[in-house]
Structure 1
Protein backbone atom coordinates (compact mmCIF):
# COMPACT_ATOMS: atom_id res chain seq x y z
CA UNK A 1 0.00 0.00 0.00
CA UNK A 2 1.26 3.45 -0.93
CA UNK A 3 0.53 7.02 0.11
CA UNK A 4 -1.57 7.51 -3.02
CA UNK A 5 -3.94 4.80 -1.70
CA UNK A 6 -4.55 6.75 1.51
CA UNK A 7 -4.51 10.23 -0.01
CA UNK A 8 -7.31 12.64 0.82
CA UNK A 9 -7.97 16.26 -0.06
CA UNK A 10 -6.89 18.36 2.86
CA UNK A 11 -7.52 21.87 4.09
CA UNK A 12 -4.70 24.37 4.02
CA UNK A 13 -4.23 27.73 5.65
CA UNK A 14 -1.85 30.60 4.94
CA UNK A 15 0.81 31.89 7.31
CA UNK A 16 -0.84 35.26 7.82
CA UNK A 17 -4.39 33.94 8.26
CA UNK A 18 -6.04 34.55 11.63
CA UNK A 19 -5.25 31.66 13.95
CA UNK A 20 -8.88 31.69 15.16
CA UNK A 21 -9.79 30.64 11.58
CA UNK A 22 -7.39 27.71 11.96
CA UNK A 23 -9.09 26.74 15.23
CA UNK A 24 -12.50 26.86 13.52
CA UNK A 25 -11.28 24.73 10.61
CA UNK A 26 -9.83 22.16 13.01
CA UNK A 27 -13.09 21.96 14.95
CA UNK A 28 -15.58 22.09 12.06
CA UNK A 29 -13.72 19.55 9.93
CA UNK A 30 -12.51 17.31 12.76
CA UNK A 31 -8.90 17.66 11.65
CA UNK A 32 -5.79 16.72 13.65
CA UNK A 33 -3.88 19.62 12.14
CA UNK A 34 -3.60 21.85 9.11
CA UNK A 35 -1.12 22.19 6.30
CA UNK A 36 0.25 25.73 6.38
CA UNK A 37 1.19 26.98 2.93
CA UNK A 38 3.37 29.89 1.85
CA UNK A 39 2.38 32.55 -0.69
CA UNK A 40 3.11 30.13 -3.55
CA UNK A 41 0.79 27.46 -2.12
CA UNK A 42 3.72 25.21 -1.20
CA UNK A 43 3.66 23.45 2.18
CA UNK A 44 5.54 25.49 4.77
CA UNK A 45 4.77 23.41 7.85
CA UNK A 46 2.13 21.36 9.63
CA UNK A 47 0.15 23.09 12.37
CA UNK A 48 -1.12 20.50 14.85
CA UNK A 49 -4.25 21.46 16.77
CA UNK A 50 -2.27 21.22 19.99
CA UNK A 51 -0.08 24.09 18.83
CA UNK A 52 -3.16 26.29 18.40
CA UNK A 53 -4.10 25.47 21.99
CA UNK A 54 -0.56 26.24 23.11
CA UNK A 55 -0.94 29.79 21.80
CA UNK A 56 -4.35 30.26 23.48
CA UNK A 57 -3.70 28.70 26.89
CA UNK A 58 -2.00 31.14 29.25
CA UNK A 59 1.63 30.28 29.87
CA UNK A 60 1.13 30.15 33.63
CA UNK A 61 -1.48 27.39 33.16
CA UNK A 62 0.89 25.42 30.96
CA UNK A 63 3.73 25.81 33.45
CA UNK A 64 1.62 24.95 36.50
CA UNK A 65 -1.57 22.97 35.75
CA UNK A 66 -2.83 23.62 39.29
CA UNK A 67 -3.27 27.28 38.34
CA UNK A 68 -5.66 26.29 35.53
CA UNK A 69 -7.94 24.76 38.16
CA UNK A 70 -8.30 28.03 40.11
CA UNK A 71 -9.61 29.97 37.09
CA UNK A 72 -13.40 30.17 37.37
CA UNK A 73 -15.44 28.29 34.78
CA UNK A 74 -16.81 31.41 33.07
CA UNK A 75 -13.30 32.66 32.32
CA UNK A 76 -11.94 29.20 31.56
CA UNK A 77 -14.58 28.76 28.84
CA UNK A 78 -13.32 31.85 27.01
CA UNK A 79 -9.60 31.05 26.78
CA UNK A 80 -9.74 30.92 22.97
CA UNK A 81 -10.44 34.66 22.98
CA UNK A 82 -6.67 35.01 23.43
CA UNK A 83 -6.35 34.09 19.74
CA UNK A 84 -8.12 37.24 18.53
CA UNK A 85 -5.87 39.32 16.28
CA UNK A 86 -3.12 36.68 16.14
CA UNK A 87 -1.90 34.88 13.03
CA UNK A 88 -1.05 31.30 12.17
CA UNK A 89 2.58 32.41 11.91
CA UNK A 90 2.47 33.29 15.62
CA UNK A 91 1.13 29.83 16.50
CA UNK A 92 4.07 28.04 14.90
CA UNK A 93 6.93 26.78 17.03
CA UNK A 94 9.93 29.11 17.05
CA UNK A 95 12.25 26.37 15.87
CA UNK A 96 11.18 24.70 12.65
CA UNK A 97 11.49 20.94 12.46
CA UNK A 98 11.59 18.52 9.58
CA UNK A 99 8.61 19.09 7.30
CA UNK A 100 6.49 15.92 7.06
CA UNK A 101 6.16 15.70 3.28
CA UNK A 102 6.66 12.84 0.88
CA UNK A 103 5.57 11.63 -2.53
CA UNK A 104 2.62 9.40 -3.55
CA UNK A 105 4.89 6.34 -3.84
CA UNK A 106 5.83 6.28 -0.12
CA UNK A 107 4.89 3.05 1.64
CA UNK A 108 2.79 2.97 4.79
CA UNK A 109 5.91 2.17 6.80
CA UNK A 110 7.65 5.24 5.34
CA UNK A 111 4.59 7.34 6.22
CA UNK A 112 4.46 5.92 9.75
CA UNK A 113 8.17 6.54 10.28
CA UNK A 114 7.83 10.11 9.04
CA UNK A 115 4.85 10.77 11.33
CA UNK A 116 6.68 9.27 14.29
CA UNK A 117 9.91 11.13 13.62
CA UNK A 118 8.23 14.52 13.09
CA UNK A 119 5.49 13.94 15.70
CA UNK A 120 2.96 15.00 13.11
CA UNK A 121 -0.58 13.61 12.83
CA UNK A 122 -0.50 14.10 9.07
CA UNK A 123 1.86 14.05 6.12
CA UNK A 124 1.56 16.35 3.12
CA UNK A 125 1.83 14.53 -0.21
CA UNK A 126 3.54 16.34 -3.04
CA UNK A 127 3.13 15.44 -6.69
CA UNK A 128 4.97 16.55 -9.78
CA UNK A 129 6.71 19.85 -9.38
CA UNK A 130 6.36 19.74 -5.60
CA UNK A 131 2.66 20.61 -5.86
CA UNK A 132 0.47 19.70 -2.88
CA UNK A 133 -1.95 16.98 -3.94
CA UNK A 134 -3.36 16.00 -0.54
CA UNK A 135 -2.44 14.48 2.78
CA UNK A 136 -2.43 11.25 4.73
CA UNK A 137 -3.69 11.42 8.30
CA UNK A 138 -2.67 9.21 11.18
CA UNK A 139 -6.24 7.98 11.41
CA UNK A 140 -6.36 6.95 7.74
CA UNK A 141 -3.02 5.20 8.06
CA UNK A 142 -3.99 3.28 11.20
CA UNK A 143 -7.47 2.42 9.90
CA UNK A 144 -6.01 0.92 6.75
CA UNK A 145 -3.13 -0.94 8.41
CA UNK A 146 -5.27 -2.33 11.24
CA UNK A 147 -7.90 -3.52 8.75
CA UNK A 148 -5.12 -5.74 7.52
Structure 2
Protein backbone atom coordinates (compact mmCIF):
# COMPACT_ATOMS: atom_id res chain seq x y z
CA UNK A 1 0.00 0.00 0.00
CA UNK A 2 1.24 3.45 -0.93
CA UNK A 3 0.45 7.04 0.03
CA UNK A 4 -1.64 7.42 -3.12
CA UNK A 5 -3.95 4.66 -1.82
CA UNK A 6 -4.65 6.61 1.39
CA UNK A 7 -4.72 10.06 -0.16
CA UNK A 8 -7.59 12.42 0.61
CA UNK A 9 -8.34 16.01 -0.30
CA UNK A 10 -7.42 18.14 2.65
CA UNK A 11 -8.20 21.75 3.56
CA UNK A 12 -5.45 24.33 3.67
CA UNK A 13 -4.99 27.72 5.28
CA UNK A 14 -2.60 30.54 4.53
CA UNK A 15 -0.08 31.99 6.93
CA UNK A 16 -2.11 35.17 7.31
CA UNK A 17 -5.51 33.46 7.64
CA UNK A 18 -7.38 34.26 10.86
CA UNK A 19 -6.57 31.57 13.44
CA UNK A 20 -10.17 31.58 14.69
CA UNK A 21 -11.26 30.47 11.19
CA UNK A 22 -8.66 27.69 11.32
CA UNK A 23 -9.98 26.62 14.72
CA UNK A 24 -13.53 26.52 13.34
CA UNK A 25 -12.35 24.44 10.39
CA UNK A 26 -10.61 21.99 12.74
CA UNK A 27 -13.77 21.64 14.82
CA UNK A 28 -16.36 21.63 12.02
CA UNK A 29 -14.52 19.01 9.95
CA UNK A 30 -13.11 17.02 12.88
CA UNK A 31 -9.54 17.45 11.62
CA UNK A 32 -6.31 16.62 13.47
CA UNK A 33 -4.55 19.60 11.94
CA UNK A 34 -4.32 21.76 8.84
CA UNK A 35 -1.84 22.17 6.03
CA UNK A 36 -0.51 25.73 6.01
CA UNK A 37 0.45 26.91 2.55
CA UNK A 38 2.60 29.72 1.27
CA UNK A 39 1.31 32.34 -1.17
CA UNK A 40 2.35 30.17 -4.12
CA UNK A 41 0.32 27.21 -2.82
CA UNK A 42 3.24 25.09 -1.64
CA UNK A 43 3.04 23.54 1.83
CA UNK A 44 4.80 25.58 4.52
CA UNK A 45 4.02 23.51 7.61
CA UNK A 46 1.43 21.40 9.37
CA UNK A 47 -0.61 23.15 12.05
CA UNK A 48 -1.79 20.58 14.61
CA UNK A 49 -4.89 21.51 16.59
CA UNK A 50 -2.77 21.50 19.73
CA UNK A 51 -0.82 24.52 18.44
CA UNK A 52 -4.09 26.44 18.09
CA UNK A 53 -4.82 25.63 21.73
CA UNK A 54 -1.31 26.68 22.74
CA UNK A 55 -2.00 30.13 21.32
CA UNK A 56 -5.42 30.40 22.98
CA UNK A 57 -4.68 29.03 26.45
CA UNK A 58 -3.08 31.64 28.73
CA UNK A 59 0.60 30.95 29.32
CA UNK A 60 0.14 30.96 33.09
CA UNK A 61 -2.34 28.05 32.74
CA UNK A 62 0.10 26.13 30.56
CA UNK A 63 2.94 26.72 32.99
CA UNK A 64 0.91 25.87 36.09
CA UNK A 65 -2.21 23.76 35.39
CA UNK A 66 -3.46 24.38 38.94
CA UNK A 67 -4.07 28.00 37.97
CA UNK A 68 -6.52 26.88 35.26
CA UNK A 69 -8.71 25.40 38.00
CA UNK A 70 -9.12 28.75 39.79
CA UNK A 71 -10.45 30.57 36.71
CA UNK A 72 -14.24 30.82 36.96
CA UNK A 73 -16.26 28.75 34.52
CA UNK A 74 -17.59 31.67 32.47
CA UNK A 75 -14.06 32.90 31.72
CA UNK A 76 -12.72 29.39 31.25
CA UNK A 77 -15.37 28.68 28.61
CA UNK A 78 -14.38 31.83 26.69
CA UNK A 79 -10.63 31.20 26.36
CA UNK A 80 -10.83 30.83 22.56
CA UNK A 81 -11.71 34.51 22.43
CA UNK A 82 -7.96 35.09 22.73
CA UNK A 83 -7.68 33.99 19.10
CA UNK A 84 -9.71 36.90 17.70
CA UNK A 85 -7.62 39.14 15.48
CA UNK A 86 -4.67 36.72 15.40
CA UNK A 87 -3.28 34.80 12.44
CA UNK A 88 -2.16 31.28 11.69
CA UNK A 89 1.41 32.58 11.54
CA UNK A 90 1.17 33.50 15.24
CA UNK A 91 0.13 29.96 16.18
CA UNK A 92 3.17 28.34 14.60
CA UNK A 93 6.05 27.22 16.79
CA UNK A 94 8.97 29.64 16.89
CA UNK A 95 11.39 26.93 15.80
CA UNK A 96 10.39 25.50 12.41
CA UNK A 97 9.98 21.74 12.41
CA UNK A 98 10.61 19.22 9.70
CA UNK A 99 7.81 19.48 7.17
CA UNK A 100 6.01 16.12 6.93
CA UNK A 101 5.74 15.79 3.16
CA UNK A 102 6.17 12.84 0.87
CA UNK A 103 5.41 11.66 -2.63
CA UNK A 104 2.53 9.40 -3.72
CA UNK A 105 4.84 6.34 -3.86
CA UNK A 106 5.73 6.37 -0.13
CA UNK A 107 4.93 3.12 1.65
CA UNK A 108 2.76 2.86 4.73
CA UNK A 109 5.86 2.29 6.85
CA UNK A 110 7.51 5.40 5.38
CA UNK A 111 4.36 7.41 6.19
CA UNK A 112 4.24 6.04 9.73
CA UNK A 113 7.93 6.77 10.30
CA UNK A 114 7.48 10.33 9.01
CA UNK A 115 4.47 10.93 11.26
CA UNK A 116 6.30 9.50 14.26
CA UNK A 117 9.50 11.47 13.61
CA UNK A 118 7.72 14.79 13.01
CA UNK A 119 4.97 14.15 15.58
CA UNK A 120 2.43 15.13 12.98
CA UNK A 121 -1.06 13.63 12.66
CA UNK A 122 -0.96 14.14 8.91
CA UNK A 123 1.43 14.11 5.99
CA UNK A 124 1.12 16.35 2.94
CA UNK A 125 1.53 14.48 -0.32
CA UNK A 126 3.17 16.32 -3.17
CA UNK A 127 3.08 15.44 -6.84
CA UNK A 128 4.95 16.97 -9.75
CA UNK A 129 7.65 18.35 -7.50
CA UNK A 130 5.96 20.66 -5.00
CA UNK A 131 2.26 20.63 -5.94
CA UNK A 132 -0.01 19.59 -3.07
CA UNK A 133 -2.27 16.74 -4.18
CA UNK A 134 -3.72 15.78 -0.79
CA UNK A 135 -2.83 14.37 2.59
CA UNK A 136 -2.71 11.15 4.55
CA UNK A 137 -4.06 11.34 8.09
CA UNK A 138 -3.02 9.22 11.03
CA UNK A 139 -6.62 8.00 11.23
CA UNK A 140 -6.62 6.81 7.60
CA UNK A 141 -3.24 5.14 8.01
CA UNK A 142 -4.24 3.28 11.19
CA UNK A 143 -7.66 2.32 9.83
CA UNK A 144 -6.09 0.77 6.74
CA UNK A 145 -3.20 -0.97 8.50
CA UNK A 146 -5.34 -2.37 11.31
CA UNK A 147 -7.99 -3.61 8.85
CA UNK A 148 -5.60 -5.59 6.88
Question: How high is the TM-score relative to the length of structure 2?
Answer: 0.99
1:1-56, Cα deviation, whole Å (9 max, x unpaired): 00000000000000000000100000000000000000000000000000000000
Aligned residue number for residue 77 of structure 1:
77
- Superposed, which structure 2 residues align to 1:17-56 within 5 Å? 17-56=17-56
Q: Tell me by how many angstroms 1:130 deviates.
A: 1.2
Query: What SS does the corresponding residue of 1:89 show, helix, strand or coil?
Result: helix
Query: What SS does the corresponding residue of 2:129 show, helix, strand or coil?
Result: helix
Runs of 4+ in 1 over 2 A off after TM superposition: none
1:90-144, Cα deviation, whole Å (9 max, x unpaired): 0000000110000000000000000000000000000013100000000000000
Cα separation, 2, equivalents of 1:123 and 1:8:
11
Aligned residue number for residue 15 of structure 2:
15
Cα separation, 1, equivalents of 2:101 and 2:41:
14
- Superposed, which structure 2 residues align to 1:77-116 within 5 Å? 77-116=77-116
Gapped regions of structure 2 (runs ≥ 5): none
